[in-house]
Chains A and B, each alone.
Chain A
Amino acid sequence: MRCQDVRNLLPELVRGDLNPAAEAMLRTHVEDCRACTGALAREQQLQASLKAIPVAVMPSDFAARALRQAATQGRPGLRRLVDHPLALAASIVMVCGMAFMLGRELTVGAGLEVVSVPLGQTQMVALKIDAPQAFDHVEFEVALPSNVVLEGQPDLREFAWSGQLRAGVNVLSLPLVGVDAAGGQLIATVTYGNTKKSLRIPLSVAVGNG
């Protein structure tokens, strides 16, 4: 084996990328060749320096923060609301609510009326949930009727996620767009342990501002 061939393979030798036969052949040559022994030492130093090139340390909270934000921003239609929930409050139609209490039947807020969503326009529809205490690991599911779509997510008919309920009033706001002048029911389900409660919200789609 020529010295030049050996030197060409020194990076792979140092990295451990060679197959056993090739590595044995190189090592045999290097042991008997003073020039290649020196070259191997240099290659080891070079690769050690490359590995030592500093890089910023990731902030300890970044992973959790980034993953959480991805889940939020991964729903384009909801991003605006999450970024500015209070600013948009005035445009939300607070349609109905339920009290989420363990061991009790679902209590639906009074005056559960048909919610009108304008055809081709976005209407914020809010579901209010009153929780007597904070709950962790709550499962949420929403199924949309065929006459509306979630803004920015026209193919998303059903979606589910796990989350928390804070003590007090929690609001799930959905930017809905009317796509079909027909009636339908939005079904929202909240599950905590063995407690599962569903709420059916009648939705109608009307031309104009309904």
Chain B
Amino acid sequence: MAAILSFWSNSRLKSDFEQRLAPHIEPLFRLACRLTNDPLDAEELVQEVLVKLYPRRDELANIEQIRPWASRVLYRMFIDKWRRRKLEPLKESELPEEQDLDQQDAQLSAEDYLQLRTDLGAVQSALNQLSEAHRTLILMHDVEGYTLVELEEILEVPLGTLKSRVHRARARLKKLLLDDQTVAEPFDAPERVSVK
């Protein structure tokens, strides 16, 4: 019997699906890397997103801004399914720390600003100490460059709330970057930022 060849494994994609999504695979991969912190996991996550999107080709054809739309799918998949499957602990994502961070904490004095450590190692270390919700905001907005309007769609959070959360996330980050202060994020180990 002749070797069984499958059309499906040979087949090429419908051009529209490929053409519309291909330019956004790399940004999706980057976002997935940021969320999972592992390139292999990121590949797996992006792959699952594409599998989920493929049957929605008709809907895709009518989407003007594909990147936030696909990013939203990726983020929801990360939160709802993928992360749970990986058995990672589900940290509080509703930002109770917002109540803990009072107005005074959210503001830096001029002196504080000048004492901020801004080298890459310190920034990475501080970022890793943020709560997951705050870290995600910083990674998506300040690192990957998603606009607040895009994040409103991706995270399904009102714009006003987002602005407040971003402000507080940045304030947390800066507190962690101050040499002489230790600010532990709620639910995280109260570790001092390492100063190299």
Contact = CB atoms under 8 A, between A and B. Distances in A.
Interface string A1-44: 00110011001000101000000000000000001101100110
A38 B110 contact: yes
Contacts of A49: 118-120, 122-123
A92 B47 CA distance: 29
Given A67-B21, A169-B5, A53 B143 contact: yes
Interface in A59-100: 59, 62-64, 66-75, 78, 81-82, 85-86, 89, 92
A73 to B, nearest CB: 5
Q: What's the interface size class on B, roughly?
A: 35 or more
A97 to B, nearest CB: 10
A81 B10 CA distance: 13
Interface string B20-38: 0110011001100110000
B151 interface: no
Contacts of B81: none
Contacts of B189: none
B187 interface: no
A56 interface: yes
Contacts of A161: 11-14
Interface stretch (B51-59, B61-69, B154-162): B51-59
B116 A62 contact: no
A38 B39 CA distance: 37
A195 interface: no
**Binding site of B, secondary structure by majority: helix, strand, loop or mixed?**
helix
Nearest to B56: A74
A7 B51 CA distance: 45
A180 B142 CA distance: 57
A67 B2 contact: no
A133 interface: no
Nearest to B123: A49
A138 to B, nearest CB: 9
Contacts of B114: 35, 38-39, 42
A68 B7 contact: no
B51 A163 contact: no
Nearest to B119: A49
A56 B110 contact: no
Contacts of B21: 67
A70 B4 CA distance: 21
Contact of B167 (A8, A45, A73): A8
A26 to B, nearest CB: 15
B51 A86 contact: no
Interface in B37-96: 39, 42-43, 46-47, 50-51, 53-55
A186 interface: no
Given A51-B143, A66-B50, A70-B54, A163 B11 contact: yes
4 smallest CB-CB distances across A and B, nearest first, come from A74-B54, A163-B11, A70-B50, A56-B39
Interface of A: 3-4, 7-8, 11, 15, 17, 35-36, 38-39, 42-43, 45-53, 55-56, 58-59, 62-64, 66-75, 78, 81-82, 85-86, 89, 92, 128, 137, 140, 161-166, 168-173
9 contacts: A46-B118, A55-B34, A58-B26, A63-B25, A67-B13, A74-B54, A162-B13, A162-B14, A171-B5
